[in-house]
Amino acid sequence: MNVQIEIQLIAIVVALACSTLGVFLILRKMAMMADAIGHTILFGIVVAFFITHDLNSPLLIIGAALTGTLTVFLVESINKTKLVSEDSSIGLIFPLLFSIGVILISLYAGDVHLDTDAVLLGEIAFAPFNRFVVNGVDIGPSSLYIMGAILIMNIVYVSVFYKELKISTFDPNLAMALGISPGIMHYSLMTLVSLTAVGAFDAVGAILVVAFMVGPPTAAYLLTDDLKDMIFLSGIIGTISVVLGYWTARIFDVAIAGMMAVMVGAIFLLIFLFAPDRGLLSIMRRKKRQKYDFAQISFLMHVINHEGAKDEREELGINTIHEHLGWNKEFVKDIFNNLYKSNLVYIEDDIIRITDKGRDLAISNAEEIVNGI
């Protein structure tokens, strides 16, 4: 296999493994816990490395993954004392474990082949160098197999416990009533999250794992309300970011994993701005239209309120009405023209009059607004 394809393949597997779990993380408002785990596995990796002396040993991966679970446990223990708010508990625990990890690496830097940058930033370009050899036959990069196994584990976990995850995510009380322990779901999910982070660290680095866990699901969240669609969409978004990021990084000769994270951000930004219905632009357009519709109804109500009154020549006069509505003259003209075209108002003797059709529309709309309130 070509090295370029291998790198992309590894990154795609990482992205898929991350986004499968990431969907549940963001729905459970645990995104920052993923960030914390991304940092604390450094501590786990260092300690496990001192024991195993092999970065690819499964023991190291499992040992380091337990640090993630430990992080969750510590954060929750501090949280339970009610002395510290939840975000502060996260912010207290992960820098401490991370710092101990960095200190250990620095102190024994001479003895071990492990440096902080590698763990924190990763270097996916080196990932294919480590080959998986069976009976003397090279069957591909070992990180592809490690991440592939983790991806399969994540997919199996999510499909087997789909219902449990869904219920405990959206309605923990219902979950409890149905006999699903939210605690077990929480810890099993978080253990897999840290396992995935550990498996991915030497490919993309501990911090960018967070970009893959949180970014694609957040973007998918803007596109759909369906949980299954969200999982698939975030997988697709992750894959696109990987491929785009890889080639852009190659062109400019810069950090590959960093560029992939930038692409995750760029895709999110595009969706955030242009998504149908929920994008910023369509929200703004809708707001503008609502404002305009509301102005039309207000205009009609103003006419209804003042017609036949003593001061109707003043209140409804074509040259004075804008003062009484308190609007810009151009805007009033625009509104009037629109209403006139729809045959809702007309002018008689320089006074604005309302048609029966306009009256019906205004009153039914006004009732709707009042009832709505």
Partner 1 sequence: MSLINIFSDYTLRTVALGSALLGAISGVIGTYTVLRKQSLVGDAVSHAALPGIGIAFLLTGSKNIEWLLLGAFISGWLSLYIVNSIIKNSKVKYDSALGMILSVFFGLGLVILTYIQKIPDSNQAGLEGFLFGQASTLLKRDVIVMSIVGGAIIIIIALLWKEFKLLSFDPEFCQVSGFPKEKLDLILTTLIVIAIVTGLQTVGVVLMSDMIIAPAVSARQWTDKLSVMVILSSIFGGLSGVIGTIISSSTRNLPTGPVIVVIISAISIISLFIAPGRGIIWRRMRDKKNKKRLNRNIILNSIYNLNIEGNRIQGYSLEDLSISKGDFNFPINTIEKELEKLETLDLVKGKDEKWYITEKGINEIEDFRGRLEE
Binding site residues, partner 1, CB under 8 A: 26, 29-32, 34-35, 39, 78, 81, 83-85, 87-88, 90-92, 95-96, 98-100, 102-103, 106-107, 109, 116-117, 120-121, 207-208, 210-211, 213-215, 217-218, 221-222, 249, 252-255, 257-262, 264-265, 268, 272, 278, 280, 283
Q: Are 55 and 178 in contact (CB under 8 A)?
A: no
Q: Which helix (H) or strand (E) holds 98?
A: helix 86-107
- CA torsion angle 271 275 281 282 (round to 10): -160
| Minimum distance of partner 1 from residue 63's CB (angstroms) | 21
| Minimum distance of partner 1 from residue 366's CB (angstroms) | 29
Long-range contacts formed by 366-373: CB under 8 A, 24+ apart: 366/297, 366/301, 369/297
Sort strands 345-348 and 131-134 into parallel, antiparallel or unpaired. unpaired
- Provide CB contacts within 8 A for 45, sequence distance 6+: 55, 60, 64, 67, 101, 114, 119, 198, 201
Q: How many CA atoms lie within 13 A of 246 on its CB side?
A: 20
Query: Which residue number, 100 or 304, has a Cβ lying nearer to partner 1?
Result: 100
| Minimum distance of partner 1 from residue 249's CB (angstroms) | 7
Q: What's the token pair of residue 259?
A: 């560029």
| Minimum distance of partner 1 from residue 54's CB (angstroms) | 23
Q: How far apart are CA 104 and CA 280, in angstroms?
A: 47
Query: Which residue number, 81 or 319, has a Cβ lying nearer to partner 1?
Result: 81
Query: Which residue number, 207 or 345, has a Cβ lying nearer to partner 1?
Result: 207
Residue that the structure tokens 């930004």 belong to = 269
| Minimum distance of partner 1 from residue 113's CB (angstroms) | 15
| Minimum distance of partner 1 from residue 267's CB (angstroms) | 10
Q: What's the token pair of residue 76?
A: 């929750």
Q: How far apart are CA 103 and CA 107, in angstroms?
A: 6
Query: Which residue number, 36 or 316, has a Cβ lying nearer to partner 1?
Result: 36
Query: Which residue number, 34 or 180, has a Cβ lying nearer to partner 1?
Result: 34
* Phi, psi (deg, nearest 5) at residue 346: -150, 170
Q: Are 7 and 125 in contact (CB under 8 A)?
A: yes
| Minimum distance of partner 1 from residue 20's CB (angstroms) | 16
* Phi, psi (deg, nearest 5) at residue 69: -65, -40
| Minimum distance of partner 1 from residue 301's CB (angstroms) | 30
Query: Which residue number, 25 or 147, has a Cβ lying nearer to partner 1?
Result: 25
Query: Which residue number, 245 or 358, has a Cβ lying nearer to partner 1?
Result: 245
Query: Which residue number, 95 or 317, has a Cβ lying nearer to partner 1?
Result: 95
Query: Which residue number, 16 or 33, has a Cβ lying nearer to partner 1?
Result: 33
| Minimum distance of partner 1 from residue 168's CB (angstroms) | 17
Q: How far apart are CA 149 and CA 13, in angstroms?
A: 10
Number of C-beta neighbours around residue 8 at 10 A:
20
